[in-house]
Structure 1
Amino acid sequence: MTLQPAVGARRADRPGFLLDLVTGAETDLASVQRLAEGAAVSLAGAAGVALDAAATLTRAGNPPVTAGSATRAYNIASSEDRYSDGPMAQAAASAAPVQVTGGSGSQRWERYRRRLTDAGYGVALAVPLELDSRSSCALVFLGPVGFDFTPELVGEAAWFAGVAAQSMKLAIEVRSVRSAGDNLKAVLESRTSIDVACGVIMAQNRCSYTEAFGKLAGVSRQRNLKVRSVAENVLKALPNGSPVTRFEPPALA
């Protein structure tokens, strides 16, 4: 069933709370793992009982990334992708918390409920993280048999998801910037190798840059190699070996 957070449960002004999904997390999986572990600890404190949590992040053009605070929590979350069922997908689609209990008579979650009880859980609460149009993420909190997520706990879970969403968006943005920087560096280094090789060919053959590049391109086609690889081979053949090429990004003020 779809739930609404308790009134006043979103305490966005709670001081001192920061979910760091960036520091030391070099991959999406590392951030999702940290998210799942932080979620379990956060809600367990409010609930007064041990809870597990799992999260799934989906980014356009990439397979879903799932992690859990415990192996069985990970298995429950990853099973949703295999069986195309479960509350996490509905929570992400409806932008609202969804709860499934092991003893409910509803037929909708029958297969999921069976996996839930087989794993030793009695209840699951899924909450969405609002990211952007190209990314989606959902958390699922898993409680023991006999436990119930009260409206207050649903509110706590929704509040945590709000904080986590901002943290995950920051992690994705930082990772995208790093990736763009790495790609730019590779492009510039490739361009440098080609330019230096063209200079060598120009000096040896007394030709223009266009003619030198044409020679590199011709060898590239003949040998089925990238132009950069041909250029690097030219530089390695120099008497003193290939010159060192470096790209240092400008310092930011």
Structure 2
Amino acid sequence: MDRPGFLLDLITGADTDLDSVQQLADSAAVALAASAGVPVDAAATLTRAGNLPATAGSATLAYNVASSEDRYSDGPMAQAAASAAPVQVTGENSSQRWEPYRRRLVGAGYGTALAVPLALDPRSSCALVFLGPAGFEFTPELVGEATWFAAVASQSMKLAIEVRSVRSAGDNLKAVLESRTSIDVACGVIMAQNRCSYTEAFGKLAGVSRQRNLKVRSVAENVLKALPSGSPATRFEPPALA
């Protein structure tokens, strides 16, 4: 790998956390295989507060090995994320602690696994696992390469999470504004029809909402749809610059 200026993009074409994790696993496999000189598969798991874990692999077998950690609550990825240090499991000389994982590893056709953590915010954790063929060993140099790649990936994943959070916040704000606009316009219609105040008009919407077990916004939209001209379109435009 060309270290100077190396940048891992986990945003372009990635609409979800899973998309970013998939790009991470694919890129990791290609990057380390170039240094190892043999085919290396990779998988990654991202866990964020309030979300289900997102796991992806550069190959189906790699995905299966990584996702099994979540099912059995064992494996080097969880240990690497907890200790913030690389963890290696080999097919032959592993401690008893890794025996169940080792059997799954060998059963998938791999000989060794190297898990490295990504440094994210306190509410998120992510780990990569590199999976080598039988008889292969991750040398100290390769462990260093994997650790360096994880450090670069950490910054990329942080940015991907931040961008996605900003997009989500923007979508939520737009939904709130659209909801508020529908309610305000419906209240205006009711005020005109009943010669009442805004408070009284909103009270009527709220009353129907309770009676029909609907959201106030849904009741408001029904009022607008009943207009002869139909529901008016909601538009949000930036203010004109002087």
Q: TM-score range by the shorter chain?
A: over 0.9
Aligned to 1:85: 74
Give RMSD over aligned pairs: 1.6
The CA deviation at 1:248 is 3.5
TM-score with structure 2 length normalisation?
0.97
Partners of 2:59 and 2:97 in 1: how far apart?
26
Aligned to 1:8: none
Aligned to 2:207: 218
Structure 1 residue matching 2:96: 3-state secondary structure: coil
Partners of 1:161 and 1:213 in 2: how far apart?
54
Partners of 2:85 and 2:141 in 1: how far apart?
15
Aligned to 1:52: 41
TM-score with structure 1 length normalisation?
0.92
**Letter of the aligned partner of 2:85 in structure 1?**
A
Question: Percent identity between the aligned chains?
Answer: 87
Q: Deviations over 1:19-45 (max 9, x none)?
A: 110011000010000000000000000
Q: Which runs of 5+ in 2 are unaligned?
A: none
Is 1:130 aligned to residue 119 of structure 2?
Answer: yes
Task: Go from structure 1 to structure 2 and tell me whether the alpha carbon gap of 1:135 and 1:210 turns closer, same or farther (over 3 Å shift).
Answer: same
Structure 1 residue matching 2:55: 3-state secondary structure: strand
Task: Go from structure 1 to structure 2 and tell me whether the alpha carbon gap of 1:251 and 1:36 turns closer, same or farther (over 3 Å shift).
Answer: farther
The CA deviation at 1:246 is 1.5
Partners of 1:49 and 1:249 in 2: how far apart?
54
Aligned to 1:183: 172
Task: Go from structure 1 to structure 2 and tell me whether the alpha carbon gap of 1:142 and 1:249 turns closer, same or farther (over 3 Å shift).
Answer: farther
Aligned residues: 241
Structure 1 residue matching 2:93: 3-state secondary structure: coil
The CA deviation at 1:245 is 1.1
The CA deviation at 1:62 is 1.1
With a CA cutoff of 8 Å and minimum separation of 6, indicate the structure with the bigger relative contact order. Answer: 1
Q: Which runs of 5+ in 1 are unaligned?
A: 1-10
Partners of 1:64 and 1:236 in 2: how far apart?
41
Is 1:229 aligned to residue 218 of structure 2?
Answer: yes
Partner residue of 1:37 out of 26, 34, 45: 26
**Letter of the aligned partner of 1:176 in structure 2?**
S
**Letter of the aligned partner of 2:93 in structure 1?**
S
The CA deviation at 1:144 is 0.6
Partner residue of 1:165 out of 135, 154, 173: 154
The CA deviation at 1:16 is 3.0
Task: Go from structure 1 to structure 2 and tell me whether the alpha carbon gap of 1:193 and 1:169 turns closer, same or farther (over 3 Å shift).
Answer: same
